[in-house]
Structures are given as C-alpha cells and as structure tokens.
Amino acid sequence: MPKPGNVFLKLFLALSSWMAATSIQAQDPVANFTADNTSGCAPLRVTFTDHSTGDPDSYSWDFGNGQLSTKPAPVVTYTQPGTYTVRLIVKNASGIDDEIKTDYITVFASPTAAFTANLKTACVPAAVQFTDHSTSPPGSSVTSWQWDFGDGGTSIQQNPTHTYTNTGFYTVTLQITNSNGCKRTASIGRYIRIVSGINVDFAFSQPPTCQPPFLINFQDQSSGPGALSYSWNFGNGTTSTAQNPSTTYNAAGTYSVKLSVQSDLGCSGTNTKDIVVAGKTTDFTAPANICVGQTINILNNSVPAPVSSSWTFSDGTTSSQINPVKTFLSGGTFQVKLVNNYGNCKDSVTKDVTVITSPAIDFSSDDSISCDAPFTVQFTDKSPIASAWSWDFGDGSTSTEQNPNHTYTNPGFYDVTLTITLAGGCSNVITKTQYIKIKPIVASISNAPAGGCAPFTFSPIPNIQSIDSIVSYSWDLGEPGAVYNTQFPTHTYNSTGTYSITLTVTTQSGCVKTITLPKGVITGTKPTADFSFTPNNTCASTPIQFTDNSLTSPGADVEWNWDFGDGGHSNAQNPTHVFQGTGREVRAASLPDAVVRARWCRTRDRGVVRQTRNQSGGDRSLRYVHAARVRMPRRLRSRAGGDGEQRVVAREGDARELREAGRRHQGPRWGRVIRLSFESGKMMADCRIADC
C-alpha cells in the first residue's frame, strides 16, 4: 500500500513557503472529497466527488490502485481485493492543498458459484438432485443460494431436489451471496434433458399352420432412453428375457401376453395384450343335387375369411373367386375342392355335387306366319316329360297350360319361350326367336305414276314386301282390255287420257293386298315450245318480260326450263329477266369448210342481229353485229339474191384476214367491233351492244 514519505514532506514545506508568500494576494484552496461507495466486492465501482474550497482550478487524484485522474468527479473500478488510500491535490492562483484518506476504500474478494446434478438425462417425471459446489474467499462464507431450474421452478436450499414433469432441455442457474454481500452466478445451458418414458409395445405373427400346435413369433416395438431390458410372460406358463422371443401354443384360444421394459435411466413400462390363437375352419355350402344347366352360387363360409380361394371342379373347370358361380353342363357326380389361402397358412376341403340330366324340351304351333292381326295360334308342348309349364308369348302374355291357345293383336315379330319343370325340380328352357311373324303386306309400283305422248307403252314394276311368298298378281291398267295376271305386264296406251292402275297380290298363306293409283298413267300429245318477249329492243339493265306460247295437251303436267344465254335460268312459266351486261360473246360452230347461212335484221342503232345456223340444221343462235360495214376479204364473200341473205365460207386459215379486217373498222359512237378471232377450231365474234 503506498505511504507518504520524505517526498511529501519536502513538497509540503515548499507549498507552505509559497502559500505564505501569496497569502496576502488571494485565499488558499482547502482539499476535500467523498466517495459513494467505500467498500464492496470486486469489481467495485466507485464515484468520487470533490468538496474542496477556494475554487481550485486544478485537480490531481491518486486512487491507490495505480490509476490517476485530473477530473473533479472521477469514476474508478477496483478489480482486485484490498485496502486503498486515496489522495487529492487541488490548486488555484493563491496556493495548493491536498487531502489524504488512508485505507479509504476496501475491496472484498468475490465467491465462486458451481453445482452438479446426479442426472443430466432422465425420463419424465424425473427427480434430479442438485449439489452446490460454490466457494468463498477466506474470511467469508456463502450465506444464501438462489436456484432457477429452467422450467419455472426455483429453490433457496443449498442442495435442492427438483422434479421435472415435462420433456425438454432445461438451463439451470445458481446465484450465491457470501458474508461480505458479494454475489456470483453460475448458469449451464441445456444442462438437464428430460425425455419421455418408455413406450412399451409389441407385435406378433400368425402361425404358419392352420391347425395346432401354433408357433408364434413376437417382435418388440418398444422405445425409450438408455439401455433397455425385457421381461415377457406369454400366458401359457412360459417367460422370456429376449428382446424378440418365440413361444408355442398347443391349443387355440385367447392368451394374455405381458411385456415389461426397464431403462438404465430409471424408466420402466408395461404393456399387456390379449392375442387370439385360432385354427382355420375351411368350409363351403352348395346344393347336393342340381340339374344340368342349373346355375348355382357356392358360398365360401370359412372362418376367418380367406385372403384368396382356389376352386377345382372335376369337370375340368376352375375358379379363383371367393364365392364362385357354377353351371354343370352334363349329368353325374362331381367333386368340388376348395383351397383357402389365409396369408399365413393354407387349408382345403372337398365335397360332392350330383348333377341330374336336364329333360328334353320342344314345342310347335299350327301356324306361325300372318299378314295381319288379330292372329290366333295354337301351341303344342312336345316335351316327353314335364310336371309344370310356363309360356311366354313375347307380347307380354303368359300361360301355364300345357297346350295353350293365344291371339296376337298387333303386327310384329315375337319370341316364344317355354319353360318346363320336372317333379324333382329340374327345369329346361327353350326360346324360338321371332317364331311368330305378323307383318302386313306393303305394296307399291316403283315406276308409277308415269306418262308420255300417245302412243305410250308402259311396263309397271311391282315392289312387294311380304313375310310370305307371293303366288299371284292381278293388274287392271285402267282401260278396257288392260287386265293382266303376270308379275311384269306390258301395255300400250294409244289414246290420250288419265288412267288408274290397280294391283292385287295374293300370298302363299292366303293374304290379299290391293293398291290403286288414281293417276297411274297420263298420256298426251307432244308439246310445241314457243315464246315471245317484250320489249324486244331496249337498253341493258331493263327488265324483259318473257311469255310462254307453247302448246301442250290439256291436263298435262308441264315444266318450264328457261336459259337466258347470260348464265341466268328460270323455271317459271312467264319469267322476267334483266340483262346486266352491254356485251356478250356468241359462238357459231364453224368447222373447217363449214357453210354458214346468215339472215340479217337491223336494229335501231343501225346494228344488226344475225341468226345463224349451220347447214346441217344444228343449233341456232343470235349474234349482234354493228351496222358499220366490215370489209371482208373478197375471197370470203359471195352474194345470193336480194333476200338479205349472205353466204360466208370460213376456214381455219382465214383467222388472220378476219382479224385485220376488224382492226381497220371505225364504227360510230354507239359501238364498234371489238375482236374477231379464231379459237379451238371455232370462229368467235365478240361485239359490244351500243350504250343508249
């Protein structure tokens, strides 16, 4: 500990001399100070406060621990235990003074906190014993303990025991205080681990045999902390300490099996299960006696229910259904064997089934085909033996008579079914598909009505639909003498008129059908086609009314087919048509060396309409040519009389000369020749109708 010595004495004498010399000028300072804490545990933090007088303007502190300061109110931390002398020197313009406080600060040594636990990992609930290992410096002792066990539990005992009731990791903290009031804390994170207790469980396998003795294997499925040990009691007087033991049960029954598990951490648990050790009962039910063709349901009533089944029948068939459906197609005694797979074992059983042969069955009727309803049929059972009958006539009606009589009221095709039953219960069924056929005759004449110009020859074609064959035809073609008895007659009508046609047919079974066409044949004279139109000289886009002037036979059905030459058509008797264009292309057949006769008719714009035809009397056509003269090459022209006819001979080689003649032509403003050409061996003349 620092002590004042000769140095301080010499300094004091010097200060005294200096103060005496200056006292006549100002007041000398007087040093003084205090501390907020003069004793405590290391580390000790102390705040010093200056209380000197004389308004010192300079401070010099020595805290006795090697630390110095020039502040008026310094803060110092003492880290080492001990006793410290503190000195303050103050100075102003008048003088200097100091204050020394010997052994002013006392610092005590702190204690050391420490602890242990008897269990760091334990099963819930776990009682853990904690032991205090804290120490205190000489001359002091630990006087108090404050425990925090991390789960909300606390204690002030030195060596407490604490019980943890929940699983998890826990941080434990201990704070101690010694006789000097010093405190220290020790904390260990995740110090205690509490785990769940032992979960005891086990499983066992089914025996590999369906009958005793039964070997059962047990499998431990327990879980828990630490090393586990096992104790088994199988309920049959035997025990085991193996983890996965086996035992044998000599009889079927229910056994109580107990497993106890112990952990080296102190945990333990027990689980008891009742296990059923049962044999397998393999069995099925089926009729002992059945009929041939009879379908039976075989019921597998084995206990427990099998995983899968395999059936073998001695007629060579098999099945893998649990409950099969079986039909035996021949008589005799047959073995039925069932093999059940129960998953852990297989078992089987065999039984006999007797199959009785089915009785013969048949029936007939007095008639089965008719062209009209009602139709009465007498049915006759032809089965050799039977004790009961069940008829289904296909129209919703039934009967239990042996030989019933039934009337069908509607046309149709009917299936008839007869079921017979013997005294022993066996039965047989026969169905005759579409046995009864009731269908009216449908008759028509496929090529009538017909007609033409007299004399007109007509051969009617009958179209008959009948379920029975036709044995006779009778025709009445509508005029005296026109009666025929052949299927395809031929008759010539020499007079005009309307004639009815009657056809009567008779079938093999006697059905009769008659049809009549009132206007079966119409004959008349050949029509003469003619028409007129107005106006006959007009502009493009003006409607033109066409009038039919044809001559036809009175009462005849007339059809009209108009072709206006510009792609337009009509089926009206007196149509109206509008020509939209002002020009058209016309064609005249002009094979090489063909002679064309042309008649010219003038129009109001000084053009002409030329009607052309070839000399062989072919189709006529109208061609418009403007009145301006086109000078034809001399060798192509000839004149004949004054009747306005002009004969022109055109050949394939004339095309060039005709084209040049067209180019030289200059027509008036109403129109002009556009083109003269030769195309595909035919002379083409294109012209433009004058604009109005």
Average pLDDT over residues 131-152: 95
* pLDDT tens digit sequence for 377-398: 999 999 888 889 999 999 999 9
Q: Do 602 and 657 share a domain, yes or no? A: yes
C-beta of residue 145 within 8 angstroms of C-beta of residue 123: no
CB 563 within 8 A of CB 588: no
**451 near 471, Cβ under 8 Å?**
no
**pTM, rounded to two decimals:** 0.35
Residue 37 lies inside a defined structural domain of this protein: yes
Instruction: Taking residues 369-373, report their average pLDDT.
Output: 88
**What is the mean predicted confidence (pLDDT) over 327-345?**
91
**Whether 611 and 675 share a structural domain:** yes
543 near 576, Cβ under 8 Å? Answer: yes
Does residue 520 belong to any structural domain of this protein?
yes
**Per-residue pLDDT at 516 exceeds 80:** yes
Of 438, 459, 494, the one marking the end of a domain is: 438
Confidence class for position 314, pLDDT limits 50, 70, 90: very high
Q: In this structure, is residue 376 part of a structural domain?
A: yes
Please state, in angstroms and rounded to a whole number, the distance separating the CA atoms of residues 54 and 98. 12
- How many domains are there within the chain? 8
∠ CA(599), CA(605), CA(610), 5° rounding? Answer: 15
- How high is the pLDDT of residue 448? 92
* Sequence-separated (6 or more) residues with CB below 8 Å from residue 314: 334, 335, 336
Name the domain boundary from 404, 438, 472: 438
Does 240 lie in the same domain as 208? Answer: yes
CA distances from 118 to 74, 127, 159, 161, 262 (A): 49, 9, 11, 10, 19
State the CATH number of the domain containing residue 27.
2.60.40.10
Over the stretch 218-253, which tens digit does the pLDDT of each residue have?
A: 999 998 888 899 999 999 999 999 999 999 999 989
DSSP per-residue letters across 411-424: -EEEEEEEEEE-TT
Least confident of 4-13, 495-504, 554-563: 4-13
pLDDT at residue 9, as a whole number: 37
pLDDT at 665 over 70: no
Do 432 and 446 reside in the same domain of the chain? no
**Residue whose token pair is 């044999």:** 279
Instruction: Report yes or no on 1 lying in a domain.
Output: no
Q: What is the mean pLDDT of residues 542-569?
A: 85
Q: Based on the fold, state whether residues 308 and 333 are members of the same structural domain.
A: yes
Task: Enter the tokens of residue 434.
Answer: 């579409």
Under 8 Å between Cβ of 64 and 85: yes
What is residue 670's predicted lDDT score, i.e. its pLDDT? 31
Q: Both 611 and 684 in a single domain?
A: yes
Token pair in block for residue 437: 């056929």
Q: Flag whether 302 is in a domain.
A: yes
Query: Over 60: is that where the pLDDT of 182 sits?
Result: yes
In-domain check, residue 212: yes
pLDDT the model gives residue 293: 80
Three-state secondary structure call for residue 660: helix
pLDDT bucket at 646, cuts 50 / 70 / 90: very low
For residue 649, what pLDDT band results from cuts at 50, 70 and 90? Answer: very low
Considering 248-257, 521-530, 532-541, the range whose residues carry the highest mean pLDDT is: 248-257
Same domain? 289 vs 270: no
- 457 with 486, same domain: the answer is yes
The arithmetic mean of pLDDT across residues 636-640, rounded, is 39
Q: Note whether 591 and 646 are same-domain residues.
A: yes
Q: Read out DSSP for 448-513?
A: -SEEEESSEEE---EEEE-SS-EEEEEEE-SSTT-EE-SSS--EEE-S-EEEEEEEEEEETTS-EE
Whether 680 and 601 share a structural domain = yes
Share of the chain above pLDDT 70, in %: 80
Name the burial class of residue 6, with classes exposed (0-12), middle (13-18) and buried (19+) by CB atoms within 10 angstroms of its CB: exposed
- Least confident piece of the model among 17-31, 361-375, 533-547, 584-598: 584-598
248-265: average pLDDT? 92
Residues 638-655 have a mean pLDDT of 37
pLDDT surpasses 50 at 605: no
Asked, for residue 548, whether it belongs to a domain, the answer is: yes
pLDDT > 80? residue 17: no
- At which of 230, 245, 277 does a domain end? 277
Q: Residue 603: what pLDDT?
A: 36
Average pLDDT over residues 438-466: 93
Pair (509, 537) in one structural domain? no
What Rg do the C-alpha atoms of the chain give, in angstroms? Answer: 69
pLDDT per position as a tens digit, 489-498: 999 999 988 9
pLDDT of residue 581: 62
- Rounded to the nearest integer, the mean pLDDT of the chain is 81
388 and 480 part of one domain: no
Closest CA to 53 of 84, 26, 74: 26
Its domain, for residue 590, covers 583-688
Domain assignment present for 569: yes
